[in-house]
Amino acid sequence: MSRTGISPFLSNVVSFSSENISAASGVSADDQDLVAISKLTHGIPLNQKYKPNFERMKSLLFQAIDSFALGEERTPLKHDAIERINSLKATWSLSKVGLWPLLRHQGFLRSAAKRLWTLRPRSIRIK
């Protein structure tokens, strides 16, 4: 493992994450939206040409939840999935405007962004 350059550890984490969601949702681990969930969750920018489909990502997480959770256990997990997708949207949006590198490091800007994010209105709808 190296502290400089691209870490093979992170690419392995993304692979494991994609494989876990794949096993639960029944979708191929190579699916672009599934890999995008894993990459954004672990702080790896997406290919600039790829535009993620956040509704499909939510659907994939719901499929995974439905495969292992029963009855009323699903509701809080689906709320968490919606919040995760909202967070991924914000992460992706920041990467598109060039703020990603600034928020990857400790400091005032990152702290302020986190505080502002917690103050945003939350609307949770489960479909």
- Domain range summary for the chain, segments of one domain joined by +: 8-119
Residue 91, C-beta contacts closer than 8 angstroms, at least 6 positions apart: 40, 43, 100
Residue 104 has pLDDT above 70, yes or no: no
Strand, helix or coil for residue 43: coil
Give per-residue pLDDT as tens, 37-82. 999 888 787 877 888 999 999 999 999 999 999 999 999 999 999 9
Mean pLDDT taken over the chain: 82
Distance CA 65, CA 101 (A): 32
Distance CA 79, CA 70 (A): 15
Strand, helix or coil for residue 46: coil
**CB atoms inside a 10 Å sphere around CB 111:** 11
Residue 118: per-residue pLDDT? 67
